[in-house]
Amino acid sequence: MSLCVLNEPAPDMTLTDLETGEQKQLLDLVESSGKYTILTFYATWSKASEREVETMEIFSKDRHNKLLNFVLVNLDQNIGDTFAFLDTIVEHRIGDEAIKGPRVCRYYGNGNEPTVLHYGAAEVPEPYGLQSVPHTVVIDPQGTVLRNGDNFHWDDIAALLRHRQEVTDPSYLKKIMAWLLPPITA
């Protein structure tokens, strides 16, 4: 089993869609979208995961899901607990506005389109070096790991989204990405 190393290809893994039960390979999901992917492993029993999942939901709104893949991977064994966790009504703060809604939108029929992809994994994937949850990894459209765990910060993503909305030239976007998420060397 390969390790998840910065600036190297991301290890592949099988994910199970929590809504349909369909299995997908992580790298197929990443590469077929052509978008950068924010991948967060979480568990419903973790208070830190609550904050991270809610932060991801907020970042995924305002059409940002058209620019980036936001992927949650639940590590719990009980799907009922997972859905109860995702559906819990919370107050999201967006600027000065407080909006009440589910922790993560997962319904297509209620007018609020899901912007986060939900998957489950039967066990903690060893290559990703999970020591705790939440654990976030950034993967580029070619499947290369740009951030893993401690060197991930939502501020990097906020800056990327600001610039990505302002700029449509793909070559300029690559320059911005190189500046915001430069290769990290050991």
Residue ranges of domains in the chain: 14-148
What secondary structure does DSSP assign to 1-18, as a single string? -----TTSBPPP-EEEET
Residues 6+ apart with CB under 8 A from 160: 36, 68, 176, 177, 180, 181
The model's confidence at residue 1, banded by pLDDT at 50, 70 and 90, is very low
- 118 burial (CB, 10 Å; 0-12 / 13-18 / 19+) is buried
- pLDDT tens digit sequence for 146-176: 888 877 888 877 776 666 555 555 666 666 6
Among candidate residues 126, 128, 135, 142, the one with its CA nearest the CA of residue 56: 135
What's the mean per-residue pLDDT of the chain? 78
CATH fold, domain 14-148, is Glutaredoxin (3.40.30)
- pLDDT tens digit sequence for 8-65: 999 988 888 887 888 889 999 899 888 889 999 999 999 999 889 888 887 777 666 7
